[in-house]
Amino acid sequence: MSVYETIKMSPLLGLQGSGGGLAYLAGLSGGDKTYVDDVFGTFLYEGDAVGGGDTQTINNGIDLAGEGGLVWIKSRSVSGREHILIDTERGATKYISSNQTSEESTGSNHLNLFNNNGFRVGGDSTVNENNQDFVSWSFRKAPGFFDVVTYTGNGASGLRAINHNLGSTPAFIIVKYLDGGSQWYCWHKNLTSKNYYILLNGSGAQGNAGTQVWEATDTTFSIHSGVAGNGVGENYVAYLFADNDASFGTGGDESIIKCGTYAGNGTATTVDIGFEPQWVLVKASDANYGWAMLDNMRGIVTGTADDRFLSANSSDEEQGQDMLDLTATGFIAKANSNTNANNKNYIYMAIRRPHKPPESATEVFSPVRPSSSGTLTATSGFATDWSIIKSPLSGGATYAGTRLTGGGTLTPHSTAAEWTVGFSWDFMDKATIAGSGDYSSWIAWNFKRAPGFFDVVAYTGTGSVTTINHNLGVAPSVVLIKGRNTTYSWYWQHYALGANTWMQLNNQEAGAGNGNIFNDTLPTSSVFSVGSLAGTNGSGNTYIAYLFGDLPGISKAGTYTGTGSNINVDCGFTAGARFVLIKRKDGSGGANVGDWYVWDSIRGIVSGNDPYLLLNSSAAQVTNTDYIDPLSSGFTVTSSAPAALNASGGTYLFLAIA
């Protein structure tokens, strides 16, 4: 039985999270669904070619060979390298450059093969220079998202209708003449009118042709011969992007692409698009600013830190400026000429963050050891959104890095504000810490955001009671909040504590009550609440929130009552827990009722001694105790466990991941 079938049949749907669980699961029985994960992907890679004949295969999970699409590649680290666009309609080896007016070129050392899970590049320096960094964006053809059309001119004047298979009316169209030098003509639904066009290869404002030059329906698009051309026998390519077509996701009712506009105010403009984006293209339609291209793999950092951007109209290397903050329902355009100059209008195209439900826990959680000493590289096999790392043998600080906040580091056992540790995070498919030293004995716990399992939200405090949107898709069982620029505690809300009770991850205290921390309100499937206290909502302070859900077969947050004897904790798993976090809620001692114990399958959850670490402490792991044992459906707390884990009548919280 698949995880999906298990979920549909599970009685757990009636437990915590049922407010959003049934809606989240709706449509699973309706056949295959299409997610943004299936049709778009940002993939970062390092070039490895030392000769023109060298190749590198990029596996990004996108079926380009079978479904067709476009791959857009740009060097991040070297200036003067062109944007390379190659699509399946024209064929591998045929490329054009968005920052050039040049005709189509052919080269076997650029992208030379489309695969059913990605593509292959050759040894040309624009796509695979040794030791240089590259980004690739893959757009798969799919109704409601993207289409590629090639056509041949027929010499007719005026508007000419051309068929497409987008399945909805295009909102953004890019057209390039292939046989000679020409501009990259674009139409966006939010240009002043259909008389206007804008050039992808330039930074200029929209131009007025003086007559209608564009038209689009759900079956055809039309371009005036006076703009893009329509010479007899001449060849053209068009890239068509949809807008807000709600036919994706688990229920087949979510959109994954949005084209829109907003007015700049020179400070900060909130743009609500209905989802959190992973990729954004922005251009001032009435000013001479470039096309800014941003994505969450290279870094759209919430806060004042630099976002990594490239310009579609420039061969410059990647640069950093504070341009956007991401929200659960869109983005905030910051005070930057490329994204938010006062009294200027901007057009944008945004693509939704990955939202495909996991089929197994290994897709979203990975406890791993580093692959080598010298640099800590803990490969998770998936794009990592939150990583916690620590040296179990020697102890010391525990470091936590989050993709959404860039290179900043938080320390779970400390109230310290976000800081720069002296190494850098890499969240592509691993947690990589670039630094010096021997990391071979360290441990990394890597988490990926996924519906029902885990979400991350960055927000700025208001100082007054408020609700904050999230994208977990179900009511969270756990909400963990830390101030990024403040020295407040890590506040932990667990559904079993009730709306008015919270705990602190960085100390041993029992559960405490103060409605102003979480506004005396449990979270729902779409929002969580914070009160007016600075710990979770100080005016102008920045915060990061981590949300865990109960996803049958994958994750479970719950409670158990101590007995002093062996306790089997059933989490609904089939092969046991790979991660277990336990904290006592009550008991005498007030400030010292128990630590936050962590076990994982890499260090060992076995029938004998099991090494544990304490999240609220800098101490090294303890290896000579047998406090938990494996259990196929979850884990067992043993009779030898201390009062902090198994006192008769004690109440304990846990978070377990299969």
pLDDT reported for residue 351: 98
Other beta carbons less than 10 A from residue 360's beta carbon: 13
pLDDT band of 378, cuts 50, 70, 90:
confident
CA distance 524 to 491: 18
**Could you read off the pLDDT of 578-613 as tens digits, one per residue?**
999 999 999 876 678 999 999 999 999 999 999 999
pLDDT band of 25, cuts 50, 70, 90:
very low
pLDDT reported for residue 590: 64
Q: Is pLDDT of 24 > 60?
A: no
pLDDT band of 259, cuts 50, 70, 90:
very high
* Percent of the chain predicted with pLDDT > 70: 93
Q: Could you give the dihedral angle defined by the CA atoms of residues 23, 29, 34 and 36, in that order, rounded to the nearest 10 degrees?
A: 30
CA distance 173 to 184: 10
Domain boundary among 241, 266, 296: 241
pLDDT reported for residue 71: 98
> Residues 14-43: what's their mean pLDDT?
60
> What are the E-state strand segments in 343-474?
345-352, 365-368, 376-379, 386-390, 399-402, 409-410, 424-426, 430-434, 443-447, 454-460, 466-469
pLDDT band of 431, cuts 50, 70, 90:
low
Residue 21 counted as domain residue: no
Report which of 257, 404, 281, 273 is spatially closest to residue 339, judged by C-alpha positions: 281
**Could you read off the pLDDT of 76-85 as tens digits, one per residue?**
999 999 999 9
Higher pLDDT, 25 or 327: 327
**Could you read off the pLDDT of 185-232 as tens digits, one per residue?**
999 999 999 999 999 999 999 999 999 999 999 999 999 999 999 999
**Are both 42 and 134 inside the same structural domain?**
yes
**Are both 131 and 151 inside the same structural domain?**
no
> Residues 517-524: what's their mean pLDDT?
95
Burial class, 596, CB count within 10 angstroms (exposed 0-12 / middle 13-18 / buried 19+)? buried
Q: Are 308 and 299 in contact (CB under 8 A)?
A: yes
Residue whose pair of structure tokens reads 């979400």 in the numeric block = 455
**Are both 468 and 533 inside the same structural domain?**
yes
Q: How do beta strands 386-390 and 613-614 pair? A: unpaired
Residue 251 counted as domain residue: no
CA distance 596 to 614: 5
Q: Which domain holds residue 40?
A: 36-140
User: Is residue 448 classed as helix, strand or coil in its secondary structure?
Assistant: coil
> Residues 418-429: what's their mean pLDDT?
80
Residue 622 counted as domain residue: yes
The amino acid at 574:
T
**Are both 136 and 40 inside the same structural domain?**
yes
Q: Are 332 and 270 in contact (CB under 8 A)?
A: yes
Question: What's the chain's Rg over C-alpha atoms?
Answer: 26
pLDDT reported for residue 21: 34
Other beta carbons less than 10 A from residue 442's beta carbon: 22
Other beta carbons less than 10 A from residue 358's beta carbon: 21
**Are both 463 and 496 inside the same structural domain?**
yes
Residue 188 counted as domain residue: yes
**Are both 74 and 122 inside the same structural domain?**
yes
**Are both 342 and 372 inside the same structural domain?**
no
* Percent of the chain predicted with pLDDT > 90: 83
pLDDT reported for residue 374: 64
pLDDT band of 118, cuts 50, 70, 90:
very high
**Are both 75 and 131 inside the same structural domain?**
yes
pLDDT reported for residue 589: 65
pLDDT reported for residue 192: 97
pLDDT reported for residue 433: 67
User: Is residue 399 classed as helix, strand or coil in its secondary structure?
Assistant: strand
**Are both 472 and 438 inside the same structural domain?**
no
CA distance 299 to 537: 25
Bridge partners for 73 per DSSP = 84, 136
**Could you read off the pLDDT of 161-181 as tens digits, one per residue?**
999 999 999 999 999 999 999
Q: Are 213 and 269 in contact (CB under 8 A)?
A: no
Domain boundary among 140, 168, 184: 140
**Are both 537 and 560 inside the same structural domain?**
no
Q: Give the HSE-up count for residue 404: Cα atoms under 13 Å, Cβ half-sphere.
A: 25
> Residues 311-333: what's their mean pLDDT?
97
**Are both 560 and 652 inside the same structural domain?**
yes
The total of structural domains in the chain comes to: 6
Q: Are 639 and 545 in contact (CB under 8 A)?
A: no
What's the pTM?
Answer: 0.93
Distance of CA 526 to the CA centre of its chain: 18
**Could you read off the pLDDT of 434-481 as tens digits, one per residue?**
666 777 788 999 999 999 999 999 999 999 999 999 999 999 999 999
CA distance 569 to 560: 7
Residue 9 counted as domain residue: no
Sheet holding 56-59, edge to edge: 56-59, 118-121, 111-115
> Residues 509-520: what's their mean pLDDT?
88
pLDDT reported for residue 591: 72
Residue 436 counted as domain residue: yes
Report which of 327, 281, 87, 310 is spatially closest to residue 188, judged by C-alpha positions: 281
Residue whose pair of structure tokens reads 């007025």 in the numeric block = 208
Report which of 9, 10, 2 is spatially closest to residue 32, judged by C-alpha positions: 2
Q: Are 645 and 560 in contact (CB under 8 A)?
A: no
Backbone φ, ψ for residue 569 (5° rounding): -100, 105
Q: Is pLDDT of 425 > 90?
A: no
**Are both 608 and 648 inside the same structural domain?**
yes
Rounded to 5°, the CA angle 186-192-198 comes to 25
Helix (H) / strand (E) containing 558: strand 555-561
Range of 112-121, 375-384, 579-588 with top mean pLDDT: 112-121
Report which of 651, 530, 281, 265 is spatially closest to residue 273, judged by C-alpha positions: 281
**Could you read off the pLDDT of 295-306 as tens digits, one per residue?**
999 999 988 879
The DSSP string of 54-118 is --EEEE-S--HHHH-EEEEEEESSSTTPPPEEEETTT-TTEEB-TT--PPPEE-TTSEEEEETTE
CA distance 8 to 416: 43
Domain boundary among 320, 352, 384: 352
Residue 629 counted as domain residue: yes
pLDDT band of 373, cuts 50, 70, 90:
low
Q: Are 83 and 137 in contact (CB under 8 A)?
A: no
Residue 1 counted as domain residue: no
